[in-house]
């Protein structure tokens, strides 16, 4: 689980690589948004936490949702405005923690791989506070799961990491079966479930604020060329935290590994997770 200091520091680091983030970060399966419509629809007003360059926002808009996004990165927000110009979309540059909704209420609070940047003491209380009666929180994330050549690449890079004195953490991804079993055993609290789905931010219990969630998963794969793979890694906070010199050396070594050992293409397996929970009590 991140400390408050790490949450602020890492959460703001993505804005420096906004263009790269927009180019290579994975999208989400269309079925995920279809299921969200079924569970939280009909389409209405959405408050999106951390829209980034608008990757998931575009899918929401295409299905008829009206989106007000709260995005802390000014470059990310500018990309989203440009990408979604002319659509029912507004973005406010702020963290969700600091944002003043000014009495705004929505049908859905949505976040795609960004909810962990909200402080545990804030995330469920404030989400419930900005929802209308009968509203839902809908959370999505892409988890990497084992069995891909991307996993093999991470393991191959461990000796180089040790030489450079950098620690990227445990490279092993859980299996699809393990992650799904963990989700099923997490219980009926959306906070506990989301702590399993996206463990970066830790588990913060939502308690009586939300009804038990409905959880759906979607398995898929994506191929990356050498440069796409390196660019993708360059947008993740553990790599952004490495000093420029060692990071450049690490990436150059990984480029050689992809070319020499993987034929210039690596595949990554994703298990996308959607959790939808209705606000309780009203």
The tens digit of pLDDT for each residue in 12-21 reads: 578 989 999 9
Parallel/antiparallel/unpaired status of strands 106-112 and 45-49: parallel
pLDDT, tens digit (0-9, with 9 covering 90-100), for 67-104: 999 999 999 999 999 999 999 999 999 999 999 999 98
Peptide bond into 154 cis (omega under 30): no
The residues facing 223 across adjacent strands are 267
Residues 225 and 150: their CA atoms lie apart, in Å, by 11
Residues 89 and 54: their CA atoms lie apart, in Å, by 10
pLDDT, tens digit (0-9, with 9 covering 90-100), for 42-60: 999 999 999 999 999 999 9
Residues 179 and 87: their CA atoms lie apart, in Å, by 36
pLDDT, tens digit (0-9, with 9 covering 90-100), for 159-212: 999 999 887 766 678 999 999 999 999 999 999 999 999 998 888 999 999 999
Indicate whether 157 pLDDT > 50: yes
Domain ranges in the chain? 4-278
pTM of full prediction above 0.75: yes
* Domain 4-278: top CATH class: alpha beta
State how far the alpha carbon of 236 is from the alpha carbons of 11, 13, 25, 119, 231, in Å: 10, 9, 9, 19, 9
């Amino acid at each position: 689980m991140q400390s408050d200091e790490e949450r602020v520091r890492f959460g703001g680091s993505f804005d420096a690589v906004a263009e790269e983030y927009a180019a290579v970060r994975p999208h989400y399966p269309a079925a995920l948004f279809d299921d969200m419509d079924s569970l939280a629809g009909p389409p209405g007003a959405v408050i999106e936490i951390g829209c980034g360059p608008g990757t998931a926002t575009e899918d929401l808009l295409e299905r008829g949702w009206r989106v007000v996004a709260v995005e802390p990165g000014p470059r990310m927000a500018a990309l989203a405005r440009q990408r979604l110009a002319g659509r029912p979309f507004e973005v406010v540059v702020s963290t969700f923690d600091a944002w003043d909704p000014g009495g705004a209420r929505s049908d859905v609070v949505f976040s795609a791989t960004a909810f962990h940047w909200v402080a545990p003491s804030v995330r469920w209380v404030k989400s419930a506070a900005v929802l209308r009666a009968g509203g839902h929180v809908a959370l999505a994330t892409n988890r990497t799961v084992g069995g891909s050549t991307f996993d093999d690449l991470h393991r191959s890079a461990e000796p180089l990491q040790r030489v450079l004195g950098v620690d990227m953490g445990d490279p092993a991804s859980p299996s699809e079966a393990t992650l799904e079993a963990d989700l099923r055993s997490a219980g009926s609290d959306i906070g506990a479930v989301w702590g399993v789905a996206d463990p970066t931010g830790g588990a913060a219990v939502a308690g009586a604020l939300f009804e038990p969630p409905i959880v759906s998963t979607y398995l898929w794969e994506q191929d990356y060329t050498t440069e796409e793979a390196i660019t993708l890694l360059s947008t993740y906070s553990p790599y952004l935290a490495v000093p420029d010199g060692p990071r450049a050396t690490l990436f150059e070594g990984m480029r050689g590994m992809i070319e020499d050992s993987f034929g210039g293409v690596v595949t990554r397996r994703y298990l996308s997770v959607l959790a939808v929970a209705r606000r309780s009590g009203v």
